[in-house]
Structure 1
Amino acid sequence: MASSFNRCCSPSLQLSSSSQYSESLSHGVLRPFKLNNYSSIFISTTPPGCRDVVVSRMKGFGESMRITRKRELKKPVLIKKLPPLKPGKVSGRLPVPDDIPRPPYVGSDVLPELSMEHQFHDSEGIARIRAACELAARVLDFAGTLVRPSVTTDQIDKAVHQMIIDAGAYPSPLGYGGFPKSVCTSINECMCHGIPDSRQLQDGDTINIDVTVYLNGYHGDTSRTFLCGNVNEATKRLIRATEECLEKGISICKDGASYKKIGKRISEHAERFGYGVVERFVGHGVGKIFHSEPIILHYRNERPGFMVEGQTFTIEPILTMGSVGCITWPDDWTTVTVDGSPAAQAEHTILITRTGAEVLTKSPTMGR
């Protein structure tokens, strides 16, 4: 379940718990300057002796802006326009048996603050989060088999809910900051956090299903974008590129690697196809806590920090065919592209090892 910069945690997560976030850079300081609701640049107050470092940073920023401008000037891909997504009727929350353990946020509709704790695990912890992630992967595969025209996202939610509680687990989104359902279902131009409702899936739709389960005290988090019926080739290419971006991001992960390399690798691959990488929503630490540090940025950045063996977090890029700007509906969750262009997301929970990363939410049927 993605996090963003506009609120404390998912669906919106601040870059830091402090409103005066700053970071040291070779004895200088980078101070945030808000451009809009979704992004920041850093204004340097670095001493003269360190300006070469800042120049390097700003060159990277300039390159990113150049690529963004090139995308904006590129002739748009012409595809059959689907009707704009509209909210349907949302049914009541589904019950969970009393004997199934709940995460600590259940019972309050207040959005939890992002935990500053990086989550590391001993052998027992790894076994538990691996079990939670394996269940999440099985549930996601099952949910994908339900995707077809005329099925409602509410029906998908009910089926997913039942499978999770039958396994003795709790559906993590249910009651998280007031979220009313057990899974997120994001259709077409919806970037993420779509609420299951009475809308029927249509031929040509795409749907991202985001599953998180809480089992034996650990969360496992994963998502994938599925095709409904006859989806146009341009949108299929967007989905394939999104999955490839996720794989590219995972490929550089290992003990000692810097977090910023994830965003660089994802951006490079997305730009090959002219797609935008959404900046508002980010990956996050996951384990005993649903959302924690480290924040994983999917675009070019200079966020400090290095991966450590034994830690777990999600990588979950969102790519768009058009604008990366977004609008959140009055429900405070559903977020759609500002221009109505298609979006796609893919997500895995990974475990950092000495030599690489173990994908804990790998599909048991698809092998990825």
Structure 2
Amino acid sequence: MFGERVYRGRVGRLAGYVSGVGADCIVVFSCYGDRDGNAVYLTGFRSGFPPGMDDADVRGLGCSAVVVSQSGEVTLVSPLQSFKTCNGYFDRLICGRDLVKALLSLLAGMGVRRVLLEGLDVIPSMYVDALKNSMLGVEFVKTGVVAEMRVSKSPEEVDMLRRAAAVGDKVLEECPNLMREGMREKELAAELTKLAYETGADYVIRTRVACGERATYLTYPFAGERKITKEELVAVDVIGWVGDYAFDLLRTYTLSKRKELLKVIEKAAEATDDMINNLKPDVVIDSLCRNLEDKLSDKNYEVTAFGHGIGVEVVEKPLLVRDNPAKLHVNTTLCVEPRAAMGGKAAQVEDTVVVTETGAELLSKAPRVFR
């Protein structure tokens, strides 16, 4: 968590936007776990209660709302939290048992006529419907201003992401020393998760170890009973947080010396390098992805561009996918992880970078290919 000055500065800019568009306030939603980013970014608060089904008079478990007025006053609404454990910078805290009722009472007391809403993708739509249906004279307007604020990182944020990436680097550097033939996926995942915590992670949300055909696609469980053999690929993806900033790094390994397995890993690393080398401000993401795929895909390999922003959440804007018309910005931090496939086998090599004025700087340093 940064000092109060940082959060008050962000809220001040947001309050200026609210006033500039003629709104009375903005309500910004977040949710426990992967989607707590808005609350973390604006106040430093992270929910300690997981989401759950509504029941009786309890509604909105695991969710929170940050309400920022034109004047910059900040109210945090988060059901079943504790006044003693709600860390963060805000002027008022409402816990209670019902997120929607608390918001209705707060907004009515403020006498609002026009309200901006953000984070509607992280809460049930029925909550928004309840707000609108109970305040028929109020105009509710969807916005994405906070998501846009989060795209370009400050130097302090980049430094935090560099520190976070260093934890993932350490895990992946040690992985070849820990991985052995006959080891179950979950055994390796347990050792890597333990290492991440020992290295400085505050929360590890997922350590994926998948071998054989499971390495070619995302599947559940992230690490299972299957034993690692010499003649297959092993995907290792480690995800978590250091402080409030995330790390997400992936490598594909093999204990084999078979050229076709090593080649697909090398192709994935080549694709990652090529994609990173073409990152710079004002590049259109759709063009970036199409150029990579056209350049590296051939009769032997199918290369698919992919990546995403990273910050207080693991997956942030922008997504590096075809048909995304957005442009890259200076100080955007990205996880770059194109996929290379050949003959039913696939590999990915994921690294974290920050877009600079002239290109991109690697924040993660783990070796690319292990033989």
- Corresponding residue for 1:354? 357
Tell me which residue corresponds to 2:294: 268
Q: CA separation in 1, counterparts of 2:364 and 2:237? A: 12
Aligned mates of 1:346, 1:364 — CA distance in 2: 10
Which fold has the larger relative contact order, with Cα–Cα distance below 8 Å and residues 6 or more apart in sequence?
A: 1
**SS of the counterpart of 1:183?**
strand
What is the CA-CA distance between 1:253 and the residue it aligns to? 0.5
The superposition leaves residues 239-291 of structure 1 with CA deviations (integer Å, 9 ceiling, x where unpaired) of: 11111001000001012222123312321343145312357xx4211111111
Matched, 1:342 2:363: no
Residue in 1 that maps onto 2:271: 245
Counterpart in the other structure of 1:133: 165
State the secondary structure of the residue aligned to 1:306: coil
Structure 2 match to 1:318 = 339
CA contact (8 A) 1:221 1:314 kept: yes
Indicate the residue corresponding to 2:207 in structure 1.
183
Asked whether the 8 Å contact 1:285–1:293 carries over to 2, the reply is yes
Contact 2:331 2:356 in 1 (8 A): yes
- Segments of structure 2 that go 5 or more residues without pairing to the other structure are 1-43, 53-61, 64-118, 123-143
Cα distance change on mapping 1:364 and 1:233 into 2, 3 Å: closer
**1:122 aligns to what?**
154
Aligned equivalents of 1:183, 1:107: Cα separation in 2 = 20
Equivalent residue, structure 2, for 1:226: 253
For 1:307, give the aligned amino acid. L
Alpha-carbon shift at residue 312 of structure 1 (Å): 0.7
Instruction: Report the identity percentage.
Output: 20
Could you tell me which residue of structure 2 aligns to residue 28 of structure 1? none
* CA distance in structure 2 between the partners assigned to 1:159 and 1:257 by the alignment: 40
> 1:145 aligns to what?
177
Deviation at residue 163 of structure 1 after TM alignment? 1.4
Give 1 or 2 for the bigger CA radius of gyration.
2
Aligned counterpart in structure 2 of residue 277 of structure 1, from 300, 303, 312: 303
2: distance between equivalents of 1:315 and 1:217? 21
Cα offset for 1:365?
9.2
Listed one character per residue, the Cα deviations across residues 171-210 of structure 1 (whole Å, up to 9, x for unaligned) are 44x3xxxxxxx30112232324341122210121211111
User: What are the residue-to-residue correspondences of 1:195-234 with 2, within 5 Å?
Assistant: 195-228=222-255, 230-234=256-260
Change (3 A) 1:249 1:364: closer
State TM-score, norm by structure 1.
Answer: 0.57
- 2:158, 2:333 within 8 Å by CA — same for their partners in 1? no
SS in 1 for 2:319: strand
Q: Cα distance, 1:308 vs. partner?
A: 0.8
**269-278 or 309-318, which deviates more:** 269-278
Q: Does the CA-based 8 Å contact 2:271-2:303 persist in structure 1? A: no
Letter in structure 2 aligned against 1:304: P
Q: Contact 2:167–2:200 at 8 Å: present in 1 too?
A: no
Is 1:107 aligned with 2:131?
no
Q: What is the rounded CA distance, in whole Å, between the counterparts of 1:153 and 1:286 in structure 2?
A: 26
Amino acid at match of 1:288: V
- CA–CA distance in structure 2, aligned partners of residues 140 and 319 of structure 1: 20
1:307 CA drift (Å): 1.0
Contact 1:103 1:214 in 2 (8 A): no
Structure 1 residues 186, 302: CA separation in 2 closer, same or farther (over 3 Å shift)?
same
Q: Partner of 2:308: helix, strand, or coil?
A: strand
2:151 and 2:162 map into 1 onto residues whose CA distance is 14
8 A Cα contact 2:349 2:368, kept in partner: no
Give RMSD over aligned pairs.
Answer: 3.0
> How many residue pairs align between the two structures?
235
| Structure 2 length-normalised TM | 0.57
Greater per-residue helix proportion: 2
The 1-side partners of 2:299 and 2:173 are apart by 27
Distance 1:278 1:185 in 2: 21
